[in-house]
A and B are shown apart, each in its own frame.
Chain A
Amino acid sequence: MTSFGTLTRRGVTALLAAALGAGAFTGAQAQQPPIKIGLTTDLTGIAAAYARGQVNGVELAIAEINAAGGIMGRKLELLVRDSQLRPELGTSHTRDLITREKVDFLIGPDASSVGVAVSAVAKQYKKVVVMTIPNTPRLVGELYHPHFFTIVPSGTMLARAMAEGLDKKYKSIAFIGGDYEASHQAVKYFGDWLAKVNPEAKITNTQWPKLGEPDFTPYITQLLSSKPDLIFSYLWGSDLIAFIKQAKSYGLFERTKFATLLFLDDLRALGSEMPDGILGQMYAPPFGTKGGKMDTFIQAFNAKYNAYPSDWAVMAYDGMMLLAQGIKAANSVDQEAVRTALEGIKYEGLQGGVTTFREVDHQGNVPSFLGVTGKDDKLPFKTLVDIKRIEADKVWPTPQEILAERK
């Protein structure tokens, strides 16, 4: 009896709603359901700050798209899940987004380990996924599938770009990086490329502190004792901050050149404590591109979040805009149609130039940046000056290399 009553009430409500709806909107557009975008990312854990930049970037893109009327008269809706830097959660959340929430497309997670998990689910359900942070070479290598697209410079590209961008005068090079897979890969790719572009240079000393090492002093003295011309670091986040602070008091930055992977979050956290003259390699710093769309983006981001955008926000915004352009071009949410549209896309993004995906691995032809730390009066933290933009086609693995990796 109760259930019958409820049903009737529900029926009445539905009728009322339908009547009101028909009265309020006349066009067919109003009934269009939103296009759902699923974002699984690590809102918890050591990479959480990156994930927040990413969510903000995607949100801003979606807000702009919706303000302009959406795509095909449909609004975009973002569903965010926290994978907590745990691949198994990446898998289950992404699967749930696809099967229960019926998301139409996926946009990339945060950590590479979760990226691997998300890519596998996308492969299984044949869903288009655009990656905006993960960059392990395995994603474009052995794990590649046709629905995968990335606009992040891969680990291989970054390590090679570092070797490519270094002055030839550095002959004796020491390395320090966290003792985990990406860092071991980085020194290998770096060394291989160095042998090509600067054959006289040698990696003379390698140090592998554990991730989250609180005290780098023994490593610092050890690095300095080999008297290298340059130290190449693959430390990032809180490890890099701890290292820099401790190395400063040993005079490391006066005694040798220091080149490191660098994220905007690190520049922000260190503030004025960041020494000048460090060679920094960055993915997609907003200050790496002058004028044009980037300025508008920085202003819009600041207006919405009261913060300067990070590399991650830039790539997330571009990833979402690029995906939207693909859906528009396909004029459908059909996975195969959008995949084909993305394969032939010419996207003009925040970083200037035209982003395209190459056939062999769907790697976007995105640049990376090398510069020297210094002060910019407009920013409350150190920035890169003398920025060199290294284009993808200079450093990305050839299709033959990619195919060889997949064997």
Chain B
Amino acid sequence: MTDVLIQILSGVSRGMVLFIVASGLTLIFGVLRVANFAHGSFYMVAAFVTYTVTRMAGGGMPGFLASLVIAPLCVAALGAAIEMLLLRRIQHRDHFYQLILTFAITLIVADGVKMIWGRDYRSVPRPQLLEGSISIFGSPFPSYYVLLIVIGLVIALALRLMLERTRFGKTLRAAVADGEMVGALGVNVPLLYTGVFTLGAWLAGLGGALAAPVGSIAIGIDNSIIIESFAVVIIGGVGSVSGALVGALVIGVLQAIGIMVAPRLAIAFIFIALCAVLLLRPQGLLGRRA
């Protein structure tokens, strides 16, 4: 029984990183109507920046905290630049062009990462304090994963407050519902777009920085995260942050349980869930019907 609980918790912790990344993607998708393939690149760049920052700070808690601040900010700046210099220029063209553009950015960023950090895989140590594990009914559960779950919940709450209580959030939600109308009402749409894209990139960066001490950092982590993030967005519903939370948890837990029940099919579980949602509720679990 404890095994099942630990399995579910590890699924939840994995889902939390996915949620942080996918919430950024879903906001960009919802407001700018851009399927941002470069989102995975933001995640990867942040992971590599985390590597550099923790190395320069000599590991330990200060390095870890510094990387959590610096890496998402670097990526947010990169996101803002991409939105203002590139995406904005083809905003009124067909969606097809935006797809190609964001895809091109993934290739350019991947080559850039190769040039700056090389092709080797890297590893970021966890701070000593988070290295160990806590005991849940006698079974160990990594304390770093507890932190991931807590940060995930904090981000979910913060995004919710931001969306409901702030002017930016209200405009943002209005833009998800009807972008044209928001423009007609005199909102500075280009500024809104840059803001949302930057926020989205920051979230991807935070996900990358948080995931860095868990796994290995290598060229190609951008691809694996982007596929899962799109699955989250589709399952949760485009533009819905709560949907992203639900979708990410569904994917995280489904996969964890899948490995337990039918290990050979575990990889398929995400896509089965994806197909089920597309067939039965195409707008996503918490999405609005267009």
Q: Which residues of A contact B (CB under 8 A)?
A: 44, 46, 48-49, 179, 206-210, 212-215, 217-222, 225, 237-239, 241-242, 245-246, 248-251, 265, 269-271, 273
Contact = CB atoms under 8 A, between A and B. Distances in A.
Contact of A273 (B119, B125, B215, B219): B125
Contact of B121 (A218, A219, A221, A238): A238
Nearest to A240: B216
B14 A249 contact: no
A245 B6 contact: no
Interface in B1-43: 3, 6-7, 10-11, 13-14
B225 interface: yes
Contacts of B213: 245
Nearest to B220: A212
Contacts of B219: 46
Interface in B111-128: 119-123, 125-126
B143 A249 contact: yes
Given A217-B13, A221-B3, A237-B121, A245 B255 contact: no
Contacts of A222: 7, 259-260, 263
A269 B216 contact: yes
A269 B259 contact: no
User: 5 tightest A-B contacts by CB?
Assistant: A249-B142, A242-B215, A217-B10, A238-B121, A238-B216
A46 B120 CA distance: 8
Of the four ranges (under 10, 10 to 19, 20 to 34, 35 or more), the interface on chain B belongs to 35 or more
Given A221-B10, A225-B3, A46 B260 contact: no
Contacts of B133: 249-251
The residue in A48, A219, A245, A265 that gathers the most chain B C-beta atoms within 10 A of its C-beta is A245
Given A214-B224, A249-B131, A270-B123, A241 B11 contact: no
A218 B255 contact: yes
Interface of A is mostly: helix
A179 to B, nearest CB: 7
13 contacts: A49-B119, A212-B221, A215-B14, A218-B256, A218-B258, A219-B259, A221-B3, A222-B260, A238-B216, A241-B121, A242-B216, A245-B214, A248-B131
A212 to B, nearest CB: 6
A239 B216 CA distance: 7
A269 B215 CA distance: 12
Contacts of A248: 131
B140 A250 contact: yes
Contacts of B13: 217
A183 B266 CA distance: 17
B14 to A, nearest CB: 5
A273 B123 contact: yes
B123 A249 contact: no
A238 B14 CA distance: 18
B214 to A, nearest CB: 6
B267 interface: yes
Contacts of B197: none
B215 A215 contact: yes
Contacts of A250: 133, 140-142
B144 interface: yes
The residue in B132, B142, B224, B258 that gathers the most chain A C-beta atoms within 10 A of its C-beta is B142
Contacts of A213: 224
Contacts of A242: 214-216
A245 B211 CA distance: 12
A221 B123 contact: no
B44 to A, nearest CB: 11
Given A44-B119, A210-B267, A265-B120, A218 B215 contact: no
Given A217-B14, A221-B6, A245 B143 contact: no
Contacts of B211: 214
Nearest to A214: B215
Nearest to B121: A238
A207 B7 CA distance: 15
B216 A208 contact: no
A212 B44 CA distance: 14
B225 A214 contact: yes
Nearest to B134: A249
Interface string B136-172: 0000111111000000000000000000000000000
Nearest to A206: B263
B109 to A, nearest CB: 16
The residue in A49, A179, A215, A265 that gathers the most chain B C-beta atoms within 10 A of its C-beta is A215
B91 to A, nearest CB: 33
Nearest to B263: A207
Nearest to A48: B119
A48 B117 CA distance: 13
Contacts of B199: none
A242 B7 CA distance: 18
Nearest to A254: B140
